[in-house]
Structure 1
Amino acid sequence: MREDRQLLLVTHLCQLLTFITGFGGLIVPLVIWATQKDKVLEMHEHGKAIINFQLSLIIYTIICIPLILAFGLGILGLIVLGVISLVFPIVNAVKASQGELPSYPLSLNFIS
């Protein structure tokens, strides 16, 4: 196994593709993780954290949609999710470049 902090950094930043293209924030990190988890040191831990975070965001977004009718709580939830999905990939990309493990808030464990 090789150490490749730049690939870990790119994997975290690929989540931001959703803001640019509307999709890809789950697909691209999933492909990188699936192909590199046995080749790059710590890729398995970082990839699991990213996939769990992205799946959690999808579930929280689905929950917020019907809550829009409940006094606009869903809109507030979507704004919070948008900020979290923008800030934490960047924070964890910096952590990855420094050799630290990622930590995503509100992340459910689908893959352990």
Structure 2
Amino acid sequence: MEERIIEKVLSFTKLTVKITKIGNDYHIILAGGDRPHIGCTVLATPRPSLKGDGKVSSTASVINVTGHKDEYLCRYLAEKMAAAQNAVVVCTGGFHTDGITEEQIREVQQAVEEMIL
């Protein structure tokens, strides 16, 4: 199995994404903030784009832990990776920082978007 760890130091904490290739598919673990946890799991499967342009897109199924808001991060990673690699992708994880500000939330979202490119 191939593994790749991507770490991004933010202005207020660190974010880690670990990508493991399992056969032709991928498992992603996202962790960060003061108390990393499992707040969400997303399963993304590749499919032909609905635009009919011959490109690959993806469809996701999501399981959230009640009260957690990690879906955006895990869903983004899973869907982008599934489409890019034409593979099934599971992303699990969570990010938590007490008293996080709107600006810090945007910083985390931007970091995740940059990490998967």
TM-score, normalised to structure 2, is: 0.29
Name the structure with the higher strand share: 2
Which is bigger in relative contact order (C-alpha 8 A, separation at least 6)?
Answer: 1
Structure with more of its chain in helix, by fraction = 1
